[in-house]
Amino acid sequence: MANSEVWLESLITATPQEGRALAIMMARKTIGAIQTDPEKRKQMRPEYADDTVQLTSSAQVVAIEFQTIAQANNYWKNEK
Amino acid sequence: MANSEVWLESLITATPQEGRALAIMMARKTIGAIQTDPEKRKQMRPEYADDTVQLTSSAQVVAIEFQTIAQANNYWKNEK
Amino acid sequence: MANSEVWLESLITATPQEGRALAIMMARKTIGAIQTDPEKRKQMRPEYADDTVQLTSSAQVVAIEFQTIAQANNYWKNEK
Amino acid sequence: MANSEVWLESLITATPQEGRALAIMMARKTIGAIQTDPEKRKQMRPEYADDTVQLTSSAQVVAIEFQTIAQANNYWKNEK
Amino acid sequence: MANSEVWLESLITATPQEGRALAIMMARKTIGAIQTDPEKRKQMRPEYADDTVQLTSSAQVVAIEFQTIAQANNYWKNEK
Amino acid sequence: MANSEVWLESLITATPQEGRALAIMMARKTIGAIQTDPEKRKQMRPEYADDTVQLTSSAQVVAIEFQTIAQANNYWKNEK
């Protein structure tokens, strides 16, 4: 927990769409926390984005992260 | 979050079926956010839709997204 | 959302077992929304139902859909 | 929904362990609803139970079903 | 439900860590309920524990079971 | 439950980001509880971190664990 970079200050976002962006960011940050070598992550990226199986699997992670974010924001029911 | 296109204004839909359509759209938009090249996505599509394993995997993503949408809409209990 | 066929009027069912039937239907309708060619879906079906990996994967989708339906019905606690 | 056999009268069970048994039953009934040929299901069974990947995948389905059942029973907090 | 051994008396545990242990136990008991032959389970074990794919898949089952247990225990908020 | 090391005292964390760190730790501890040989875990690690399929699968476990932690912390809504 002595990670110097603070990237997740809050789960609250202004709009649902910003919540989606946060969900994608959270999924990516997990990958970065497990595979810490940025060069390797770069090499992996094409492999990752060109494979439909992996794209769907990533979409599932994003869906779960978004569920948490949507609950935190009370589904943006009070937004205009 | 400087994405110019706003596609998710709200999680609220008039009916459960519109909620299903939104869940499918959300899953697709995630794919689009990871694989940003539309040409590649087009090539991937037949591969994707013809493989039962991947279809089931996609159905799982949609089920999770729909769970979030259904909660946001209080399961459409107040609708007629 | 201009889909002409309305197949999901409500998440409310009379009994838990009807909720299971709805969960299976929801999973199938998602497949139909992604693979829109009915001929291809027909060809896929044996492949699908004969493969235990895919059966288990489908059972997972149904479990998630049912979770949503059960919440919508307050777990049928008020039923007789 | 014209299925003659009623196997799911209620999500309420007397104990958590009976809830586990119900979760396993629900997972199995889904398989039966998709693969309706009992002979084929019988042939599949060894393949299914001898493969650790599939066992883990099944355990995941059971975990999700149990989550629903546990919520329905308010986690059996009022039981003795 | 005529299983003679009662192994799940309650979802309530004294601490979060005991909740983790229960989650792992629940996942294992499901495997045992599907593959009832203890000899076969023993043979499977090395295969299982040496394969990172399967380890991750098991970790997912445990995460879902723990979610249920944590809810049952109100996240151990009242504990000291 | 006679495990001597206490590593999970509480699900409460000061910030969302510490919640992410806890989620990753929980996922890792599960792996350690199943594959108890530290030498084997060490050998597995490169295999694990270099495979995008497994990275995504791990990200899914972390997403589920985080969901539980976020609920426990009421989504850190009261934090500054």
Specify the length of chain B in residues: 80
Regions in chain F scoring below 50 on pLDDT: 1-2, 80
Q: Token match 């309650």: residue?
A: E10
Q: Residue C11: name the closest of B71, D3, D73 by CA.
A: B71
B79 occurs within a structural domain = no
Give the DSSP letter string of C11-62.
S--SSHHHHHHHHHHHHHHHHHHHS--HHHHHHHHHHHHT-HHHHHHHHHHH
Q: Token match 């196997």: residue?
A: D7
Find chain E residues with C-beta within 8 A of D76's C-beta. Answer: 10-11
E46 occurs within a structural domain = yes
Chains C and B touch (3+ CB pairs under 8 A): yes
> CA C25, CA B73: separation in Å to the nearest integer?
21
**Residue D79 above 60 pLDDT?**
no
Verify whether the Cβ–Cβ distance E8 to D24 is below 8 Å: no
Closest CB from B27, B47, B68 relative to A52: B47
Identify which has the larger pLDDT, C46 or C38: C38
- Per-residue model confidence (pLDDT) at position B2: 46
Of A42-46, B47-51, C10-14, the one with minimum mean pLDDT is B47-51
Q: Chain C interface residues facing chain B, Cβ-Cβ under 8 Å?
A: 1, 3, 6-12, 26-27, 29-31, 33-36, 40, 44, 47-48, 51, 53-54, 57-58, 60-61, 64-65, 67-68, 71-72
Q: What chain C residue is nearest to D6 in terms of C-alpha separation?
A: C17
Closest CB from B11, B34, B67 relative to A49: B34
Task: For E9-45, write each residue's pLDDT tens digit.
Answer: 999 999 999 999 999 999 999 999 988 899 988 888 8
Task: For D11-44, write each residue's pLDDT tens digit.
Answer: 999 999 999 999 999 999 999 998 889 998 888 8
Verify whether the Cβ–Cβ distance E47 to D52 is below 8 Å: yes
Distance of CA F32 to the CA centre of its chain: 11
Of A61-65, C45-49, D5-9, the one with minimum mean pLDDT is C45-49
> CA D41, CA D45: separation in Å to the nearest integer?
6
Position C78, amino acid = N
Verify whether the Cβ–Cβ distance B35 to A55 is below 8 Å: yes
F11 occurs within a structural domain = no
What are the b/e assignments for C4-32, b being 16+ CB within 10 Å?
eeeebeebbbebbbbbbbbbbebbbbbbe
Q: What's the gap in Å between the CA of B44 and the closest CA on chain C? A: 13
> CA C68, CA B72: separation in Å to the nearest integer?
12
Query: HEC states along chain D?
Result: CCCCCCCCCCCCCCCHHHHHHHHHHHHHHHHHHHCCCHHHHHHHHHHHHCCHHHHHHHHHHHHHHHHHHHHHCHHHCCCC
Contacts with B28 (C-beta within 8 Å, 6 or more apart), sequence order: none
Other Cβ atoms closer than 10 A to E16: 24
- Per-residue model confidence (pLDDT) at position F79: 54
In this complex, the chains that touch F, judged by 3 or more CB pairs closer than 8 A, are: A, E
Our count of domains for chain E comes to: 1
Verify whether the Cβ–Cβ distance B11 to A60 is below 8 Å: no
- Per-residue model confidence (pLDDT) at position B74: 97
Identify which has the larger pLDDT, C9 or B4: C9
Other Cβ atoms closer than 10 A to D26: 26
DSSP E5: -
In this complex, the chains that touch C, judged by 3 or more CB pairs closer than 8 A, are: B, D
Contacts with D12 (C-beta within 8 Å, 6 or more apart), sequence order: C75, C77, D72, D73
Q: pLDDT truncated to tens, each residue of chain B (80 aa)?
A: 445 689 999 999 999 999 999 999 999 999 999 888 989 888 887 777 778 888 999 999 999 999 999 999 999 997 54
Other Cβ atoms closer than 10 A to E46: 10
| pLDDT grade for D71, boundaries at 50, 70 and 90 | very high
- Per-residue model confidence (pLDDT) at position F1: 41
- Per-residue model confidence (pLDDT) at position E4: 64
How far is the CA of D44 from the CAs of C52, D51, E41, in angstroms? 7, 11, 18
> CA D74, CA D13: separation in Å to the nearest integer?
11
- Per-residue model confidence (pLDDT) at position D46: 78
**Residue A79 above 60 pLDDT?**
no
D5 occurs within a structural domain = no
Verify whether the Cβ–Cβ distance A58 to F58 is below 8 Å: no
> CA F55, CA E26: separation in Å to the nearest integer?
25
C-beta of residue E12 within 8 angstroms of C-beta of residue E72: yes
Structural domain of D38: 16-74
Verify whether the Cβ–Cβ distance D66 to E68 is below 8 Å: yes
- Per-residue model confidence (pLDDT) at position C4: 63
| pLDDT grade for D53, boundaries at 50, 70 and 90 | confident
Q: Where are the alpha helices (DSSP H) in chain B?
A: 16-34, 38-49, 52-72
Find chain B residues with C-beta within 8 A of A70's C-beta. Answer: 11, 68, 71-72
B21 occurs within a structural domain = yes
Task: For A15-33, write each residue's pLDDT tens digit.
Answer: 999 999 999 999 999 999 9
Task: For A45-69, write each residue's pLDDT tens digit.
Answer: 777 777 888 899 999 999 999 999 9
C-beta of residue C52 within 8 angstroms of C-beta of residue D47: yes
Q: What chain D residue is nearest to C75 in terms of C-alpha separation?
A: D72
C-beta of residue A58 within 8 angstroms of C-beta of residue B34: yes
- Per-residue model confidence (pLDDT) at position C1: 42
- Per-residue model confidence (pLDDT) at position D80: 47
> CA F5, CA F22: separation in Å to the nearest integer?
16
Contacts with A44 (C-beta within 8 Å, 6 or more apart), sequence order: A35, F50, F52, F55
- Per-residue model confidence (pLDDT) at position C80: 47
> CA B48, CA B54: separation in Å to the nearest integer?
6
> CA D47, CA C32: separation in Å to the nearest integer?
29
A27 occurs within a structural domain = yes
Q: 3-state DSSP call for residue A6? A: coil
Task: For E39-73, write each residue's pLDDT tens digit.
Answer: 988 888 877 777 888 899 999 999 999 999 999 99
Verify whether the Cβ–Cβ distance F60 to A64 is below 8 Å: yes
> CA A16, CA A22: separation in Å to the nearest integer?
10
Q: What's the gap in Å between the CA of B51 and the closest CA on chain A? A: 10
